[in-house]
Amino acid sequence: REALAAGCDMLVGTPGRLIDYLKQHIWSPRRVEVLVIDEADRMFDMGFIADLRFILRRLPPPERRQSFLFSATLSFRVLELTWEFMNNPSQITIMPQQKTAERVEQTLYHVGREEKFPLLLGLMRREGDRFLIFSNTREEARRLEDRLVRNGWDARALTGDVDQKRRLRIINDFKEGTLPVLVATDVASRGLHIEAVSHVINWDLPQDAEDYVHRIGRTARAGAAGRAIGLVDEASVLNLEAIEKFIGQKIPVEWAEDDLFVAEIKPSADERRRFAEERRARLDARRGLDRGGRRGGGAGRPAPHAHHHPPAGAAAPADAQRRPRRRRRSGGGPRPEGGSA
């Protein structure tokens, strides 16, 4: 903090910490001449985009600074960021000659959703002891962690909302081999350089074909061989065609024998209740501001029937007084007492 306050030529940081020091007036964005945004697409996935926009709006205008934006995938959201905060940017695309590593052996298993976990247990028991498993969502990654631990595997989940201290500890344990199974979302599929990962397992096929390449690239590193296994159920099979088209090859399919399915140890009633409460607490924490806003907005609202039943002697609300006039206009006049039109 003191070194930053004394001034520097280059400042590297995460959006949250930069904002923290900015609000404390330890550094100022007004004299920034060069801006570099790395892993721009992951800024969206990790929930940093609001923080990033907060910083960018306080920088000198685009024509008074040079900006570099690096992204493995050029999604519409990333392009939108360039249109908003860059001045007539040029796009440079670097494509590797071969999209997937040579020594990665790829395999697919077509399996029903209910049979995926028993097949996963059987594959892990047969194949080896060092696994990186990818899931598309945080909740599914946590659920996989719970199920694997219950069935005798030492596993940890690495998702975008894991704090930095715990994240580094999990990665270090996996690198050193003390943690045999890492369950991750795509936040971990880039930037991880871990040797001796024997298997990458796609519990879900990714929706983005490029993410598939990044995922399976976590094995067969430094000239070693590795296996990439995809468990394709009724939902993720929709992503398969785009992936095979992107990598330019059909992925070989294997069919599991009955003895490869291992019965799962199911959670007890108390465990299911605890998991449900933890999941509800996480979802409530994410929606805290929104839920608070709804509660605040709803307070003091009149009851829905208050307009239709005013107390005796009280004047009816304005909107209730307007209704007879609307009926008279549409019906051509008041209905006579005791008669019918």
Q: Give the pLDDT score at 44.
A: 67
d(CA 56, CA 64): 13
Query: Could you tell me if residue 182 is inside a domain?
Result: yes
- 178/235 same-domain check: yes
Distances from the Cα of 310 to the Cα of 63, 101, 302, 319, angstroms:
62, 75, 12, 12
**Residue found under tokens 């008279």:** 328
Q: What is the DSSP string of 134-180?
A: E-SSHHHHHHHHHHHHHTT--EEEE-TTS-HHHHHHHHHHHHHTS--
Confidence at residue 273, expressed as pLDDT on a 0 to 100 scale? 82
In a domain, 260, yes or no: yes
Q: Are 81 and 156 in a shared domain?
A: no
CATH of the domain at 173: 3.40.50.300
* Residue environment code for 99-108, b if the CB has 16+ CB neighbours within 10 A, otherwise e: ebbeebebeb
Paired with 303 in beta bridges are none
CA distance 127 to 124: 5
Any idea what DSSP says for residue 227? E
Mark whether 122 and 226 lie in a shared domain. yes
137 & 234 share domain: yes
What is residue 295's predicted lDDT score, i.e. its pLDDT? 41
Bridge partners, residue 312, by sequence:
none
- Is 336 part of a structural domain of the chain? no
Residue 63 lies in a domain: yes
Q: Is the dihedral of CA 319, 321, 327, 328 positive or negative?
A: negative
Q: Which amino acid is at 17?
A: R
Question: Are 165 and 109 members of one domain?
Answer: yes
pLDDT tens for the chain, 341 residues long, are 888 888 899 999 988 899 999 999 999 999 999 999 988 877 766 667 888 889 999 999 989 999 998 887 777 777 888 888 888 888 888 765 556 666 789 999 999 999 999 999 999 999 877 899 999 988 899 999 999 999 999 999 998 778 888 988 998 999 888 999 999 988 655 667 777 788 999 999 998 888 898 888 888 665 667 899 999 999 989 999 999 998 888 999 999 999 999 999 988 888 778 778 877 886 777 666 444 444 444 444 444 444 444 444 444 444 444 444 444 444 444 444 444 43
Of 28, 58, 85, at which residue does a domain stop? 85
Q: Are both 129 and 273 inside the same structural domain?
A: yes
Kindly state whether residue 329 falls inside one of the protein's structural domains.
Answer: no
d(CA 336, CA 10): 84
Say if residues 226 and 220 touch (Cβ distance below 8 Å).
Answer: yes
Identify which of 24, 23, 21, 18 has the alpha carbon closest to the alpha carbon of residue 36. 18
Could you tell me if 163 and 74 lie in one domain?
Answer: no
Q: What domain range includes position 139?
A: 104-282
Q: Are residues 124 and 273 located together in one domain of the fold?
A: yes
**Position 295, amino acid:** R
In a domain, 127, yes or no: yes
CB-count exposure of residue 19 (10 Å: 0-12, 13-18, 19+): middle
d(CA 209, CA 338): 72
Residue 196 lies in a domain: yes
Beta strands (DSSP E) in the chain are: 34-37, 66-69, 104-110, 131-134, 155-158, 181-184, 199-202, 226-232, 253-254
Q: What is the dihedral of CA 245, 246, 252, 256, to 10 degrees?
A: -100
Q: Same domain, yes or no, for 108 and 184?
A: yes
Q: Are residues 62 and 169 in the same domain?
A: no
- Please state whether the predicted TM-score (pTM) of the whole model is above 0.75: no
Q: Say if 291 falls within a structural domain.
A: no
pLDDT at 101: 61
Give the per-residue pLDDT at 146.
Answer: 93
Write down the pLDDT at residue 220: 66
Q: How far apart are CA 173 and CA 166, in angstroms?
A: 11
- Give the chain's domain count: 2
The domain boundary, picked from 264, 282, 300, lies at 282
Tell me, yes or no, whether 122 and 175 share the same domain.
yes
Q: Angle at the Cα of 202 (from 228 to 107), degrees rounded to 5? A: 35
